[in-house]
């Protein structure tokens, strides 16, 4: 199993990243300061490090500097609310994300670094007669093409990547709108309504008290 070390001192953000990565099948370890991050990254075997630059105790930049000075080629995706991405890349980071960010964007960058991207010759997600072309960003129901907004596209992609799974409103909020979302918002219900109008009302079913799921064969 792919192991990812998350070095982030903001507990809510660390939990958000960890929950999302575990849902995608990764094994995760979370540390909240630079000293621990440097020790754990050195002593344990991880496949990738998600590294916040603003860590207490030891700055994330120092952690990165120490890793590369030891000759470690551990892939590092840095997180920063500060404009230090150029310096981080020069020190040997593999990629960066500027806060705030959407989880799906972070996940995509992690998969790139782990070389776990979907096969280039199969960029189409399917469920029954519903298809979503990741290259052209177009959906289709049978022979009928369906144009989607950016948010609609992302939400449909989430459903198609979790076939048969009931997605809670919280999960959909975090995947589509990112870390900085309002948990009391009804935006998920609104966009589910948009997708139903475009794809068919029975395409997305409501699971009372739990959330929504994509119907493989709508009634």
- Which pTM does this prediction carry? 0.58
Question: End of a domain among 45, 79, 113?
Answer: 113
Question: End of a domain among 61, 87, 113?
Answer: 113
In 3D space, the residue among 160, 157, 162, 182 whose CA is nearest the CA of residue 170 turns out to be 182
Same domain, 60 and 23: yes
What's the pLDDT at 89? Answer: 67
Residue 181: which domain range? Answer: 124-214
- Rounded Cα distance between 18 and 93, Å, is 20
Question: End of a domain among 113, 139, 172?
Answer: 113
What's the pLDDT at 121? Answer: 46
101, 179 Cβ separation under 8 angstroms = yes
Pairing of strands 76-80, 95-98: parallel
Question: What parts of the chain have a pLDDT lower than 70?
Answer: 44, 82-90, 115-122, 178-183, 216-219
Condensed to tens digits (0 to 9), the pLDDT of residues 140-157 reads 999 999 998 878 988 998
Q: How many domains does the chain have?
A: 2
């Amino acid at each position: 199993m792919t192991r990812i070390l998350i070095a982030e001192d903001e507990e809510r953000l660390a939990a958000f990243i960890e929950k999302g990565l575990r849902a995608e099948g990764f094994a995760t370890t979370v540390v909240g300061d630079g000293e621990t991050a440097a020790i754990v990254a050195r002593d344990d075997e991880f496949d990738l490090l998600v590294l916040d630059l603003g860590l207490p105790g030891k700055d994330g930049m120092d952690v990165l500097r120490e890793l590369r000075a030891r000759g470690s080629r551990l892939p590092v995706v840095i997180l920063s609310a500060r404009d230090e991405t150029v310096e981080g890349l020069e020190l040997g980071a593999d990629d960066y994300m500027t806060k705030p960010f959407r989880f799906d964007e972070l996940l995509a960058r992690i998969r790139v670094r782990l070389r776990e991207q979907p096969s280039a010759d199969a960029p189409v997600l399917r469920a029954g007669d519903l298809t979503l072309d990741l290259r052209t960003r177009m959906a289709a129901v049978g022979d009928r093409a369906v144009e989607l907004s950016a948010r609609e596209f992302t939400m449909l992609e989430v459903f198609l990547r979790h076939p048969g799974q009931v997605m809670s409103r919280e999960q959909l909020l975090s995947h589509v709108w990112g870390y900085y979302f309002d948990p009391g918002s009804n935006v998920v219900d609104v966009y589910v309504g948009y997708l139903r109008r475009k794809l068919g009302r029975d395409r997305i079913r409501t699971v009372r008290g739990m959330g929504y799921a994509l119907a493989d064969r709508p009634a």
